[in-house]
């Protein structure tokens, strides 16, 4: 059985969005978008992994695969929920109307349609793909939503005991959320919608996630075409929002924050952990596969908490991740790329750090990073990145692994994460700076 520690990736080939993340029967279940045949995007399946602690993951094979008319060209993203002891998976099924003759895993000119389906597993182990059902057929009214681009159902049980669902879609060039409700998780009724006021908020809202934490409702989503610092980006955003659950009335805020400032993180999904804490995990995009005996592309970030501090979201390192680093290491010990490592230090204006060729500096009250020394330039890969303004001194927790670095600033007030392809040797820290370093007891 294939196992990974800390940063889950597929056993080989392609992985993208996390799906169906939940704590069920004493295990964390994480499903994920998976193309099992090549390290590139293709006909989507749901891979499946489990963990007892959010640190060590064990792959359980493929849970969902195309098997019905409505999902014959892909089982797209969705969520999971426990109901009466069973595990209910909700997802978007895709059917191509015209298939590319050169690549059966793609349609021509976006000629496809999307439906919302569900599958019930009695135990989180058995997934009978012959027993799927359509719960929301393709949308036919273009003033409600898009027949092709309506996807990614996130389902939860409300305080009223009913089941609620939010979907992402697009209408007239603006992103929109669709809300549905159900008395039993099986029969769903359209309830309400919330639409962006301009294309600046993105023209398609993917992977919506709406939840209540620290006395506030938080909306996370991944809008395509979102305007950030004057240009259209495809990044995941979040904000504290006003939401009335019974009527599904949502009021958007004046502005959103990026969930991560490194440019690679996308499609986050949250769940409550065994202690009731809201926990997030997300996909780290890679522009090219990692060359290995079995090439692979994409991995998950380490689990993070979601908190609301002073009306704004924060994403501190999950306590289970921090607790996994119990082995103190001298800060000047050789840096080994394949060994998960945690550094803690403070930076002041003008100071900088180099970890294996990756540079971090505090410049003008922002954390600025440069990965040009550890990655070749590639389409979609941002070499330099920065956080919002922070202050004169910042506390950093820096998590490194073979193909990723995650920088938690001021205990998660903001996070900057990026993928890495080839670490260098060497560590450089500011003089007179107290640096603490730990490794995991049993690194991969």
pLDDT in tens, 180-190: 999 999 999 99
Give the total number of structural domains in the chain: 2
185-209: pLDDT as tens digits: 999 999 999 999 888 999 999 999 9
What is the DSSP secondary-structure string of 357-425?
TEEEEEETTEEEEE-TTTS---TT--SEEEPPP--SEEEEEEEEETTEEEEEETTTTEEEEEE-S---S
If asked whether residues 289 and 366 sit together in one domain, one would say: no
In the listed set 257, 285, 319, which residue is the last one of a domain according to the structure? 319
Residues 268 and 304 placed together within one structural domain of the fold: yes
Same domain, 240 and 263: yes
395-440 residue pLDDT tens:
999 999 999 999 999 999 999 999 999 999 999 999 878 999 999 9
Residues 26 and 85 in one domain: yes
Distance of CA 123 to the CA centre of its chain: 25
> Mean of the pLDDT values across residues 374-392?
85
Average pLDDT, the chain: 95
Checking DSSP bridges between strand 133-136 and strand 325-328, what pairing results, if any?
unpaired
Return phi, psi of residue 320, to 5°.
-65, -35
- Tell me: pLDDT of 154 over 90: yes
Whether residues 305 and 393 fall in one domain: no
Please tell me whether residues 279 and 360 are part of one structural domain.
Answer: no
* Residues 329 and 314 reside in one and the same domain: no
The sign one gets for the Cα dihedral 70, 75, 81, 86 is positive
Q: Same domain, yes or no, for 220 and 332?
A: no
Is residue 444 scored above 60 in pLDDT?
no
CA distance 429 to 197: 46
pLDDT digits (tens, 9 = 90+) for 41-97: 999 999 999 999 999 999 999 999 999 999 999 999 999 999 999 999 999 999 999
Q: Is 140 exposed, middle or buried (0-12, 13-18, 19+ CB in 10 A)?
A: exposed
User: What distances in angstroms separate CA 361 from CA 34, 194, 416, 422, 426, one per listed residue?
Assistant: 36, 40, 12, 20, 16
Is the pLDDT reported for residue 443 higher than 60?
no
| Domain assignment of residue 26, given as a range | 3-319
Range in 5-9, 123-127, 165-169, 404-408 with the lowest mean pLDDT: 5-9
| Domain identity same for 38 and 115 | yes
Structure confidence at residue 442 as a pLDDT band (50, 70, 90): low
The answer on 237 and 384 residing in a single domain is: no
Read off the CATH number of the domain in which 212 is found: 2.115.10.20
Beta bridge partners of 211: 218
Query: pLDDT at position 387, please?
Result: 96
Q: Which of 271, 293, 319 is the last residue of a domain?
A: 319
- Domain of 355, CATH number, reads 2.60.120.560
Domain boundary among 319, 345, 361: 319
Model confidence at 32: pLDDT above 90: yes
Distance CA 328, CA 310 (A): 34
Tokens (6 digits) for 90: 């909700």
Looking at the structure, do residues 391 and 296 belong to the same domain, yes or no?
no
Distances (CA, A) of 8 to 18, 150, 152, 296, 440: 10, 27, 21, 12, 16
Q: Are residues 330 and 310 in the same domain?
A: no
Q: How far apart are CA 50 and CA 224, in angstroms?
A: 30
SS3 188: coil
Q: What are phi and psi of 96, to 5 degrees?
A: -80, 135
């Amino acid at each position: 059985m294939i196992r990974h520690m800390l940063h889950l990736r597929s056993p080989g080939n392609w992985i993208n969005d996390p799906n169906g993340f939940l704590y069920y029967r004493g295990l964390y279940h994480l499903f994920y978008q998976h193309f099992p045949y090549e390290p590139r995007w293709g006909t989507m399946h749901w891979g499946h992994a489990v963990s007892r602690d959010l640190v060590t993951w064990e792959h359980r094979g493929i849970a969902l695969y195309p098997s019905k008319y409505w999902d014959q060209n892909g089982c797209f993203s969705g969520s999971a929920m426990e109901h009466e002891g069973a595990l209910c998976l909700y997802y978007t099924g895709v059917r191509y109307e015209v298939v590319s003759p050169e690549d059966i895993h793609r349609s021509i000119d976006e000629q496809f349609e999307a439906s919302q389906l569900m599958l019930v597993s009695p135990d989180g182990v058995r997934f009978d793909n012959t027993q799927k059902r359509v719960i929301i057929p393709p949308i036919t009214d273009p003033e409600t939503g898009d027949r092709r681009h309506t996807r990614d159902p996130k389902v939860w049980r409300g305080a009223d005991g009913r089941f609620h669902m939010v979907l992402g879609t697009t209408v007239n060039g603006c992103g929109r959320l669709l809300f549905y409700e159900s008395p039993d998780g099986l029969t769903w009724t359209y309830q309400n919608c919330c639409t962006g006021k301009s294309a600046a908020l993105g023209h398609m809202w993917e992977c919506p996630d709406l939840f209540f934490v620290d006395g506030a409702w938080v909306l996370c989503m991944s809008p395509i075409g979102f305007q950030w610092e004057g240009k259209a980006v495809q990044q995941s955003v979040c904000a504290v929002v006003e939401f009335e659950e019974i009527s599904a009335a949502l009021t958007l805020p004046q502005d959103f924050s990026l969930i991560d400032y490194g440019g690679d993180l996308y499609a986050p999904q949250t769940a409550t952990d065994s202690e009731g804490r809201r926990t997030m995990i997300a996909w780290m995009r890679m522009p090219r596969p990692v060359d290995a005996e079995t090439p692979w592309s994409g991995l998950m970030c380490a689990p993070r908490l979601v908190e609301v501090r002073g009306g704004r979201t924060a994403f501190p390192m999950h306590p289970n991740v921090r607790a996994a680093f119990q082995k103190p290491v001298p800060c000047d010990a050789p840096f080994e790329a394949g060994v998960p490592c945690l550094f803690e230090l403070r930076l002041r204006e003008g100071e900088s750090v180099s970890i294996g060729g990756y540079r971090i500096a505090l410049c003008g009250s922002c954390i600025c990073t440069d990965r040009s020394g550890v990655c070749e330039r590639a389409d979609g890969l941002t070499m330099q990145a920065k956080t919002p303004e922070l202050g004169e001194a910042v506390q950093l927790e820096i998590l490194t692994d073979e193909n990723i670095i995650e920088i938690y600033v001021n205990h998660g007030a903001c996070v900057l994460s990026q993928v890495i392809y080839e670490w260098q040797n060497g560590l450089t820290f500011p003089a007179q700076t107290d640096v603490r370093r730990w490794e995991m007891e049993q690194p991969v």
